[in-house]
């Protein structure tokens, strides 16, 4: 694909600056180029001092890396954001209703809309959750909806991330870094704040606490520990929320509740924001070798004495075969057509779809149904003949494991290079907080950017970077 067919979020086809970027563009061209490059290095130093790193696994040894930060913001007009807000709100409501249905009557299966095998053969489906409703009826307390843009008014949902969405600490640190480096810029451009996300998260989680408490709910963040790739984020959020950062070894069941060890004895926890996968949550229920969870936690949870966010078993919504049915899922539970589109998806488990995918492999993106992080996927237009040949064999051998999508013409935003501004492909992950009272969408999100020219892969594990995301206050 050639670069000129992509929607440029900063510039019109004739080169004029698009309205959301007008004030920023004026400011940018008033700055000295060498000063801007110096500021870019300063940002990197700030990130290193703060310790914002992640680990890359799957190599000879886990390697700690800094996620590259590009200081040209991604800017979204207020009216564009309001449209996204409505679409995300609708989708998140449908997701929560879908979760409840999956673990109760499975009406959508009975209606013949969703095949039973997608639930039956889904490793993320937990029989232990069948017939149980979490406190407040909320399954997906925090959702990270991955969006891509292809035109002025065209946004598509790429993934729903209903299990344990990560990256919000980068959204917050990116903004803090920008405000520290360019305070005068924020007086010239009206940008909505994201800095109160931890307060909003704490409030939303507290609203999901088990009923019958006669005190303020105690919130804990359950981390696998310092060697986890996202440990920085776990510690950061606990600190910012005023919550307890705990590991499985700090917790036990005391008097029918989950309690943490303190210098004054055991103290009950009411809401556990867990960053530990389902499999490792409870060695008595799931993986008996797990050292990361708490023995008996599922019994306490099913007795209604603890809120786990997100609820165990929500991973079924992250399955890419389930994703392909999201338009039908939204309509089934809301009675409305989806406001946000899905990316067209071919299910390779279906004979006609598989034939189409095999015939057009060089033009498509093929993903593992349970894959994440940009691993295990094929980008047809950039693949070598050998990669295409190898993937064809995988598809033929195990078609149920894959879905395929068109190679989207992702929008671009400028990054700062040695030569000046240059367009690069981006996606967006807004963060949604769900409680019985409201659905709260933070005005911003994590913009990931493919730093290599022409690349469509924005994942940090695959060399992508991040940007501050501005939603204008208009």
- Supply the DSSP string of 392-434, one letter for each residue: HHHHHH-GGGEEEEE-----EEEEEETTEEEEEEEEEE-EEEE
Do the bridges between strand 431-434 and strand 142-144 make them parallel or antiparallel, or are there none, so unpaired?
Answer: antiparallel
> Which residues in 318-349 are b (16+ Cβ under 10 Å) and which e?
bbbbbbbbbbbbbebbeeeebbbebbebbbbb
Separation of CA 432 from chain center = 10
Residue 4: its pLDDT value, please? 47
3-class secondary-structure state, position 63: strand
- Who has greater pLDDT, 179 or 373? 179
pLDDT band for 457, please (50, 70, 90 cuts).
confident
Q: Determine which helix (DSSP H) or strand (DSSP E) holds 157, and give its type and residue range.
A: strand 154-159
pTM as predicted: 0.92
CA 213/CA 17 separation, integer angstroms: 54
pLDDT band for 375, please (50, 70, 90 cuts).
low
- Whether the CB-CB separation of 372 and 353 falls below 8 Å is answered with no
Residue 62: its pLDDT value, please? 47
Residue 53: its pLDDT value, please? 55
Mean pLDDT of the residues in the chain: 92
Q: What percent of the chain clears pLDDT 70, i.e. is strictly above it?
A: 95
CA angle 265, 268, 269 (to 5 degrees): 130
- Residues 43-68 have a mean pLDDT of 63
Q: What is the pLDDT of residues 149-167, one digit of tens each?
A: 999 999 999 999 999 898 9
Q: 404 has which bridge partners?
A: 346, 366
Query: Which tokens sit at 302?
Result: 């099913």
Q: Determine which helix (DSSP H) or strand (DSSP E) holds 239, and give its type and residue range.
A: helix 231-241
Residue listed under structure tokens 């892969």: 457
CA 219/CA 202 separation, integer angstroms: 8
pLDDT band for 372, please (50, 70, 90 cuts).
low
Residue 374: its pLDDT value, please? 57
Q: What is the pLDDT of residues 104-144, one digit of tens each?
A: 999 999 999 999 999 988 889 999 999 999 999 999 999 99
Query: Which tokens sit at 49?
Result: 């001092």
What stretches of 303-419 adopt beta strand conformation (E)? 307-309, 341-342, 346-347, 364-368, 378-379, 402-406, 412-417
Residue 297: its pLDDT value, please? 98
How many CA atoms does the CB half-sphere of 157 hold within 13 Å? 29
CA 287/CA 144 separation, integer angstroms: 26
Residue 288: its pLDDT value, please? 94
> Has residue 37 got a pLDDT over 80?
yes
- Residues 445-459 have a mean pLDDT of 88
Separation of CA 23 from chain center = 30
Q: What is the pLDDT of residues 251-269, one digit of tens each?
A: 999 999 999 999 999 999 9
pLDDT band for 353, please (50, 70, 90 cuts).
very high
Residue listed under structure tokens 């997608």: 118
Pick the CATH number of 344-406 from 3.40.50.1950, 3.50.50.60, 2.40.160.20, 3.30.1490.270: 3.30.1490.270
CA angle 297, 303, 309 (to 5 degrees): 55
Hey, where are the domains in the chain?
19-210+306-337+409-471, 344-406
Rounded CA Rg of the chain: 23
- Whether the CB-CB separation of 405 and 343 falls below 8 Å is answered with yes
Beta strands across the sheet bearing 244-246: 244-246, 219-222, 271-274, 307-309
Q: What is the pLDDT of residues 171-198, one digit of tens each?
A: 999 999 999 999 999 999 999 999 999 9
3-class secondary-structure state, position 224: coil
> Has residue 242 got a pLDDT over 90?
yes
By C-alpha distance, which of 427, 395, 469, 400 is closest to 161? 427
- Whether the CB-CB separation of 77 and 20 falls below 8 Å is answered with yes
CA 15/CA 4 separation, integer angstroms: 12
List Cα–Cα distances, 5 to 77, 250, 336, 453, in angstroms. 22, 54, 32, 14
> Has residue 59 got a pLDDT over 50?
no
Residue 18: its pLDDT value, please? 97
- Whether the CB-CB separation of 255 and 272 falls below 8 Å is answered with no
- Residues 230-250 have a mean pLDDT of 95
3-class secondary-structure state, position 46: helix
By C-alpha distance, which of 302, 205, 214, 212 is closest to 258? 302
Q: Determine which helix (DSSP H) or strand (DSSP E) holds 252, and give its type and residue range.
A: strand 251-254
Residue 322: its pLDDT value, please? 94
């Amino acid at each position: 694909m050639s670069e000129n067919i992509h929607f440029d979020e900063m510039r019109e086809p004739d080169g004029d600056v698009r309205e959301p970027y007008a004030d920023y563009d004026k400011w940018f061209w008033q700055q000295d180029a060498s000063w801007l490059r110096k500021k870019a290095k300063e940002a990197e130093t700030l990130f290193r001092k703060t310790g914002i790193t992640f680990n890359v696994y799957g190599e000879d040894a886990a390697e700690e890396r800094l996620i590259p930060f590009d200081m040209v913001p991604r800017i979204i007009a207020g009216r564009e954001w309001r449209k996204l807000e409505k679409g995300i709100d609708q989708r998140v409501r449908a997701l929560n209703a879908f979760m409840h249905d999956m673990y109760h009557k499975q009406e959508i299966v009975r209606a013949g809309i969703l095949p039973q095998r997608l639930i039956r053969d889904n490793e993320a489906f937990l029989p232990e959750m069948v017939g149980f409703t979490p406190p407040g009826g909320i399954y997906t307390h925090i959702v990270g909806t991955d969006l891509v843009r292809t035109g002025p008014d065209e946004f598509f949902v790429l993934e729903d991330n209903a299990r344990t969405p990560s990256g919000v600490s980068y959204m917050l640190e990116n903004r803090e870094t920008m405000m520290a480096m360019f305070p005068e810029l924020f007086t010239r451009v009206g940008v909505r704040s994201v800095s109160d996300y931890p307060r909003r998260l704490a409030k939303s989680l507290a609203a999901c606490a088990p009923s019958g408490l006669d005190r303020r709910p105690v919130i804990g963040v359950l981390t696998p520990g310092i060697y986890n790739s996202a440990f920085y984020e776990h510690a950061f959020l606990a600190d910012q929320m005023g919550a307890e950062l705990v590991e499985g070894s700090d917790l036990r069941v005391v008097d029918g509740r989950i309690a943490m060890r303190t210098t004054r004895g055991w103290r009950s926890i009411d809401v556990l924001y867990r960053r530990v996968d389902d499999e490792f949550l409870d060695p008595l229920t799931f993986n008996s070798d797990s050292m990361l969870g708490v023995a008996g936690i599922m019994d306490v949870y099913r007795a209604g004495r603890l809120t786990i966010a997100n609820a165990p078993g929500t991973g079924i919504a992250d399955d890419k075969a389930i994703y392909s049915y999201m338009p039908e899922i939204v309509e089934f539970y809301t009675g409305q057509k989806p406001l946000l589109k899905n990316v067209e998806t071919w299910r390779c488990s279906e004979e006609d779809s598989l034939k189409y995918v095999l015939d057009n492999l060089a033009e498509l993106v093929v993903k593992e149904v349970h894959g994440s992080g940009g691993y295990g996927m094929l980008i047809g237009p950039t693949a070598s003949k050998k990669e295409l040949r190898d993937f064809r064999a995988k598809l033929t051998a195990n078609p149920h494991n894959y879905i395929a999508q068109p190679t989207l013409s992702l929008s671009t935003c400028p990054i700062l290079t040695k030569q000046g501004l240059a367009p690069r492909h981006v996606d967006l992950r807004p963060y949604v907080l769900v409680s019985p009272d409201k659905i709260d969408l933070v005005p911003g999100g994590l913009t990931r950017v493919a730093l290599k020219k022409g690349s469509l892969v924005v994942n940090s594990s695959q060399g992508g970077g991040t940007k501050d995301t501005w939603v204008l206050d208009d």
